[in-house]
Amino acid sequence: MSQPQPTDWRRIAADGIWNNNVVLGQALALCPLLAVTATATNGLGLGLASTLVMTLSGVLVALVRSLVTAEVRIPVFILVIAVLVTLVDLAMNAWLHDLHKVLGLFIPLIVTNCAILGRAESFASRNPVLPSAFDGLMMGIGFTLVLVALGAVREIIGSATLFADASLLLGESMAFLELTLIPDYPGFLLAILPPGGFLALGFMLAGKRLIDTRRARIRARGATAAPV
C-alpha cells in the first residue's frame, strides 16, 4: 500500500516533540514518568537514557524489519529492546559508573516503557534505518522535555528547588543549574508524592489540548478568511 515517499523530516520532528508526543499525544510511558519526576534532574536522567535506547532500538528494528513476519514481530521486538537495554545497563555500570549510580535506577524501567515498543511497532517496522533513528531521537527529545517540565513543576512546588543534584548527573560544571528558589521553604509534600504527579500531568495534558484547539480555530478562521 505504501509507495516509497520522500521522508518528511520536519513532520517526524514535529510529531515527536509536540503533535504525537509520547506523553502528551500518545499517553504512553506514564508509569516511569510519574515514578521519577519528583525532581527535574531525575526527569532529565530518565529522558536521556530513554532517548538513547529509543534511537538505537529504532535502528535495530528497522534493520531486521524485512526479515520479521507480522506474526512474530512483537516478541522479536521485545527481545531486541530488552537486549539493548541490558547491554546499555552493563556498559554504563562498567565504564560510566558514577553516571550509572544516578541513572541506574531508571535503566531497567526503560524495558517497561511501552513507548519504545510502540515506536518500534508503529514507525521503525515500516521505515528505513535513518528515518527510524531520527524518529526515535525526536520521540526521545519530546519525552525528555515533558519529563523535565513535569519534574521542574513538581520540584518547584514541592521543595522550591530546581535541578537539585544536577551536578551528580551532568558533572560539576553544570552545578550552576542547581537553584534554591525559596530558602527555608517548608516543602509541599503532595507535589512530590505520586498524586502531585497525576495532578501536574493532568494540567499539562489539558494545556496541550487548549493550545491545540486554539491553533486549530485560528487555522480554520484563517482558511475561511484567506482569499482577500
Partner 1 sequence: MNTLAEPSYRSRVGYQAGLLGGFALLAAALLVMGDIATRDTIALREAEDLKATLTQVIPAELHDNDLLEATVPLVDDTGRTVTVYRALRGGAVSALAFPVVGKGYAGEIRLMLGVDPEGRILGVRVIAHSETPGLGDKIELAKDDWILDFDGRALGAPPAARWAVAKDGGDFDQFSGATITPRAVVRAVRAGLERFAAERSRLIVAPDRLDTAEE
Binding site residues, partner 1, CB under 8 A: 1, 38, 64, 67-73, 75-76, 79-80, 82-83, 86-87, 90-91, 93-95, 97, 101, 125-126, 158-159, 187, 189, 192-193
CA separation (Å) from 22 to 16, 76, 98, 141, 143?
A: 7, 22, 29, 10, 6
- Cβ at position 146, least distance to partner 1 in Å: 20
Of 82 and 220, the one with the shorter C-beta distance to partner 1 is: 82
Of 69 and 173, the one with the shorter C-beta distance to partner 1 is: 69
Nearest-angstrom CA–CA distance, 26 and 24: 6
- Cβ at position 165, least distance to partner 1 in Å: 8
- Cβ at position 79, least distance to partner 1 in Å: 5
Of 78 and 114, the one with the shorter C-beta distance to partner 1 is: 78
Q: What are phi and psi of 174, to 5 degrees?
A: -100, 15
Nearest-angstrom CA–CA distance, 116 and 90: 19
- Cβ at position 57, least distance to partner 1 in Å: 13
Question: Using an 8 Å Cβ cutoff, are 148 and 44 in contact?
Answer: yes
Of 13 and 56, the one with the shorter C-beta distance to partner 1 is: 56
Nearest-angstrom CA–CA distance, 24 and 46: 17
User: Which cell numbers hold the place of 168?
Assistant: 551528580
